[in-house]
Structure 1
Amino acid sequence: MYIVREQGAARLTLDEAARQAGVSKGGVLYHFRSKDDLIRAMVQRLIEEYDEQAAAMYAREAEGPYRWARTYVGLSFDPRGPGADPVGAAVLAAVALNPDLLAPIRAMFHDILERLRSDSPDPTRALLIGLALDGLFLNRVTGLHLYDDATMENLRQTAMALLA
């Protein structure tokens, strides 16, 4: 992920991956038959990292209605959360070149939607907040950073108040 994080998706090649890992291209090809396989593995790793962060934050959230929605708000505004890693934008860019690679990400978001519905007395409210948070995620991974810290905190508090 270093290549994508530091140099962007366009620089991700099997040759560059081998060079960065200090192995031969054959060593990389042993694990990844193609650049698409390498990107699939990166997407899977990002999903696993998200799941770990979500589980940890969910465990810290108080039981009750909207627990998953509150978790999603917390993850979305966490400066170390899923939207904070620049590799996310690069992986999305790489996935855009081959929409078939989007399937695991689509499945992850379907899971998020089911979680939001699962414990929400008003699923529409939870889904609407989730949709707004998806926009925030895209804002962060694309590096737009349209909102200052005070605005972000106000938005976080407002989202949590809507779930109280």
Structure 2
Amino acid sequence: MRPSQRTRILDAAIRVTERDGITALTLESAAEEAGVTKGGLMYHFRTRDELLLAIQRHLTDAWEAQLVAELGKPLAQASPQEALEAYVRLGVHGAVSKADLAFMVESVATPALAEPWDDLIARWAPPPTSTDPHDIDRLLAQLAVDGLWLWRATSMIPLSEPVKQALHDRLLKLVAARDADAG
């Protein structure tokens, strides 16, 4: 299926950011990268802010699709532990995009831009509501995955597959600590 012009523009804007940084992303640069006129782009996105919000949603939709694929079933059919396990697996072994990081950072100061990311995290790895040690272990696993993702997005030093696998295994043990305690 051929992507829509809107999707082509969003993907082009992400490529501009990945290649040149977020400050280089303008309506003009996105239009040029997508092979459309600025007027064609503005049919979909009247301002840079509209484009940025659409990109945030586009990126989080892509993350959601990857998480669902990793989970192997709809999120509504999964336990919180299964969802967090999928989050850990994707966070350790999934692709890392510098553009994702740039757009996440861009969203920090603007609640409307942060909302898609906050909604994604709230569904897949909600913060604990108690100080139960298992809930805190799950939060530690999530924070470790997020930190690993950030490190991979900003570091030029790759982790070996054995190290990534060891991290993966240890984080899943942390997520499942209560089950091990009960056994």
TM-score by length of 2: 0.72
Question: Which of 44, 48, 66 in structure 2 is aligned with 1:53?
Answer: 66
Indicate if the aligned counterparts of 1:5 and 1:87 stay in contact, CA closer than 8 A: yes
Q: Give, as a single letter, the amino acid of the residue that structure 1 aligns with 2:86.
A: T
**1:91 maps onto 2:103 in alignment:** yes
1:72 aligns to 2:67 (yes or no): no
What does 1:122-161 correspond to in 2, within 5 Å? 122-141=134-153, 143-144=154-155, 148-149=159-160, 150-161=162-173
Q: Aligned in 2, Cα 1:122/1:97: closer, same or farther, shift over 3 Å?
A: closer
What letter corresponds to residue 149 of structure 2 in structure 1? F
Alpha-carbon separation, structure 2, partners of 1:64 and 1:105: 21
The residue type paired with residue 78 of structure 1 is: H
Amino acid aligned to 1:59: G
List per-residue Cα deviations over 1:22-79 (Å, max 9, x = no partner): 221111111101111111111111111111111111117xx87822222111011114
Q: Which has the larger radius of gyration?
A: 2
Deviation at 1:122, TM superposition (A): 3.0
SS of the equivalent of 1:103 reads: helix
1:65–1:18 Cα change, 3 Å: closer
Question: Residue deviations 1:71-100, cap 9 Å, x none?
Answer: 1110111143xxx12221221243346454
Equivalence for 1:103: 115
CA distance in 1, matches of 2:101, 2:60: 14
Show structure 1 runs of 4+ deviating over 3 A: 96-100, 114-117
Unaligned ranges ≥5, structure 2: 1-13
Offset, 1:158: 1.0
Identity, in percent, stands at 28
Is the Cα contact below 8 Å between 1:57 and 1:75 reproduced in 2?
A: yes
Aligned to 1:22: 35
Count the aligned residue pairs: 155
